[in-house]
Structure 1
Amino acid sequence: MAVSLESLLADREWLLADGATGTTLFAMGLESGEAPELWNESAPEKVRALYDGAIGAGSDLFLTNSFGGNASRLKLHDADGRVFELNRAAAEIGRAAADAAEAAGGRPVVVAGSIGPTGEIMAPLGPLSIEAAADMFEEQARGLLAGGVDVLWVETMSAPDELRAAALGIARTGAPWCGTMSFDTAGRTMMGLTAADMVALVDGLEHKPLAFGANCGVGASDLLRTVLGFESVHPALPVVAKGNAGIPKFVDGHIHYDGTPELMADYAVLARDCGARIIGGCCGTTPAHLVAMRAALEATPKGPVPDLETISKRLGGFSSASDGSGGAPAGRERRRRRA
């Protein structure tokens, strides 16, 4: 019962994506330094619970437990020879969860195969060539497709050549995909890309994604400023917004995110009004946040595009004075967040 993300985007104004993978799995007992992807075989019931949590909260799309499932990252756990099987297992669990949801309630849910960065530095600054990275991404993509994902989902990228490599590897499979980057360094990715740069990058790819956007970063306000940056150059493709649930804090030996369900509900509505079509959460976003986000999106009529002052007043100040594009500073540089 595969679902076409493209057809859902054609029929709906917005789609609700899922929340955090790591936050949820840590709450289930995942230890720091442990590879979540190994749970696809050793603890499949917990991975299924992760997926079911997003589906039950109203997500139209969820990502598989395969973010670090490439050979480079799995090598750190002596599992680089198991890329295909671990990704296939992540996808098979997801396929079963989505099919069960559709059979029970008739609601289609998209299974998106998560593909994260390799963790290596791209040439010429580092040792990883585009060709070698493309091979890694292709290997991972083929495992996810064999397990039954509907679409591939490249996320948390920072280097333009790594996104190009992912597009190249996926193109060899012919599969549809989406791609997001993390804008966490004064409005830019760690490797210096602005929102406008990403629009140009995506537009120049031969195998273009179905949608593109931003995930993770340093908070909901900053992520929406990036979404406005995308929209300012009139992208041809739908935009994705997957912001963190607030700012991480170390509390009693654990990372805690301070974004409440109410704040994330407000973020979701603002993201839609900024122009995002696929809206979800990243780190710290739980099913409780997703429930509030869906309820707000369904109950709140679409409003005008918010300005930066409106975003900062409702979600908290920006982490930097500039969005990285060289424009005039806006909002409060010091972040203040409502309870």
Structure 2
Amino acid sequence: MGRFHSALNWVVTAIFVAASGVVYGKLFFHASPLYIGAVYALFCGMPALAFERRMILPRLNRWMHRLPTPAFIVSALIADFALIAIGFAVAGALLKSLHLITDNWAEAMLLQVDVYIYAIIVTAIVVFVARVRELLGRDVFLSLLTGRYRNPVQEERVFLFIDLVGSTAFAEERGDLKAQQYLGSIFGAIAEPVRRHKGAIDDYIGDAAIITWPLERGVKNARCVRCVFDILADIEANAEIWLKSYGRVPRLRAALHGGGIVTAEIGVDHHKIAYFGDTVNTTARLESLCKALERQVLISADLARRIELPEEIAMEDLGDHAVRGRDQTLGVIALHMPREHVRKAISNGQ
């Protein structure tokens, strides 16, 4: 599912880039067929965007991002110019070879300054929108864009709290900088399973991540539960890489709970979609029970009743427990995946 969304994003991006070429053609070359501008735009814009996303020349991209800001800007302009010029030349050669344009070879293949400036502007717009979408998350970005939560809304959501075990000891041992790199790698490993199961990372608090789904989406096909065990399986599948990079394999604790909350857009200079209600607090308290109960994954009995769990997931009823800040006790269930199923999940992921 994650690959599908990624492919869909690229299709939408390609349509926008092609449309920008059509607009350019209509503005400056009225007699030219619309597809001419679309072809040039795709060949100019898509390589630059692929480079920005590190899909081509990833080492060069990483090297550029390590440069001081002035040097990075200069190198980025040079790289974009080269990619756009090459794309323009390829598009011109293709169209000329197919006798779709009557320009001479030089006019067809040599990038003009005005075309370069226009291509840079379109690419910058696409990159800016993509960066904002990544910063906020897909669901939050769309919600802010449409104003869905401008007025508070009552709804039901599933929350997943994932916490890293031993982060303080790691920081004391390796230093804050290495600890931050460690956390960044862990949060990066969490991101793909979350996308795969249609969740949204709401926030990072210290060494914990908060993930959420609309309740109906989260319980369908046990997405929220599968997400947890996919994260754990992915980390175990890359155990050797973790050991080589950080000297240890991350150990995580996770808790799932769902129910009614109030969702609202808050803030003035900095806007955010915020969730209010007992459900969020209860999930946080449930996660803290993982340590006391010596279990890695816990789910509230209320949420478990609404999910048809996969056959490979085993349940262990731990009874009712008092939760700090809540008058009523909470039914708690531990979730486990037997070792043979863990190995199968790892091999499927590979």
TM-score band w.r.t. shorter chain:
under 0.3
Whichever of the two has the greater Rg, that structure is 2
Normalised to the residue count of structure 2, the TM-score between the two structures is 0.25
The structure in which a higher percent of residues are helix is 2
Normalised to the residue count of structure 1, the TM-score between the two structures is 0.25
